[in-house]
Amino acid sequence: MRLPIVAMLSLSLVARAALGTPLDTPLALSTGQVVPKNEALQKALQQVDEGDFEDAIRTLEKGIEQPDLTDDQLAELYRLLGLSHLYLGNEERARDAFEKLLQARPDYELPKSAPPKIRSLYARIKEDIRKRRVRPVTLTVTPVTEASGGDAVVVEARIDDLALGAKTKLFYRRAGAQSFSSIDFVRGKVSRGDYSATVPAFEVPAEDQSYEVEYYVEVADAAQRRLAGRGDPYNPLTFRVAAKKVAAGVVAESTPFYKSPWLWIGIGLGAAAATTGIVLLATSNQTATLPVTIQIQGQP
């Protein structure tokens, strides 16, 4: 349903104020961050700017279902969804959208220029979360900084308040590769909130040179909507795979031959043997050439 033109203009101005955008400039993202282009987000921004909130909601709901969304994109989609519901008088759905925004970006703050009604609702939601009346999924990942080539790599995470049907996945790839592989996190046996995912050893082979592996963690509900994450396809976390170690035998071969102790022992033994032979030879020759004097004494 499109609103009358006067109402559309009025709501468009209010929407611009809610988004923290100057009235004489095109509508833009409120975070101030540069995020990868998303067609659904750009279309919804235009629809909200024109006051066409029902169409914006349909666009945003389809956009949220898209895979490989970044946290910033998801936060913007949910923020516009909450804004659209609120301007149509559906505060309960607006509240649900803002709660999911805080799941994607727990540190998100509305622009100071946002209208009091929106800021008030947002503040109540944050207070409910602080007091645990609302329990969004929380994700804490223990970062991996370095791994040994040829060994499996275990990524550990703490996940609390995971919704029924939601799953947590580890996405990884060698730096420079085009696509990510994925593996599910499994719950630990000791603590309910402890999870881990293991990158197989054959995915991180030992090589002569070190290299990097990119990865990110994502919690998604049954409809594959991202609820929380650390890193994303455009801003992944990384760890370095160390170069394989040089074998001990190679070190021995690299020692210069003239520094080998066995060489000098051999030379020494050879010199000793040669000296002994010379002495014996010299003694033999001298004995053979001793002068012999024969004296015959005559009779008186």
Q: What is the CATH number of the domain that holds 178?
A: 2.60.40.10
Residue 233 lies in a domain: yes
CA distance 172 to 237: 9
State the CATH number of the domain containing residue 9.
Answer: 1.25.40
User: 211 is in which domain, residue-wise?
Assistant: 138-245
- 186-213 mean pLDDT: 91
**Which of residues 294 and 5 earns the better pLDDT score?**
294
Of 51-55, 67-71, 128-132, 175-179, the one with minimum mean pLDDT is 128-132
Residue 208 falls inside a structural domain: yes
Does residue 156 share a domain with residue 235? yes
Indicate if 100 and 149 belong to the same structural domain. no
Neighbours of 199 (CB within 10 A): 21
Please check whether residues 94 and 162 belong to one and the same domain.
no
Q: Are 160 and 116 spatial neighbours (Cβ–Cβ below 8 Å)?
A: no
Pick from 65, 95, 130: which residue ends a domain? 130
Kindly state whether residues 12 and 108 are assigned to the same domain.
yes
The better pLDDT of the pair 125, 185 is held by 185
- Mind listing the pLDDT tens digit for each residue in 253-279? 455 555 556 555 566 656 555 555 544
Per-residue pLDDT, 255:
54
Looking at the structure, do residues 115 and 14 belong to the same domain, yes or no?
yes
Express each pLDDT in 138-176 by its tens digit.
Answer: 899 999 999 999 999 999 999 988 776 688 999 999 999
Domain match, 210 and 107 both? no
Listed residues 110, 130, 150: the one ending a domain: 130
**Structural domains of the chain, count:** 2
* Mean residue pLDDT across the chain: 75
Q: What is the mean pLDDT of residues 116-143?
A: 80
Q: Is the pTM of this model over 0.85?
A: no
Higher pLDDT pick, 132 / 188: 188
Q: Give the pLDDT confidence score for residue 264 in this predicted structure.
A: 57
Query: Which of 130, 146, 167 marks a domain boundary?
Result: 130
pLDDT digits (tens, 9 = 90+) for 72-97: 888 889 889 999 998 898 988 888 88
In a domain, 253, yes or no: no
Task: Give the count of beta carbons closer than 10 Å to the beta carbon of residue 28.
Answer: 13
Question: Are 78 and 154 found together in one domain?
Answer: no
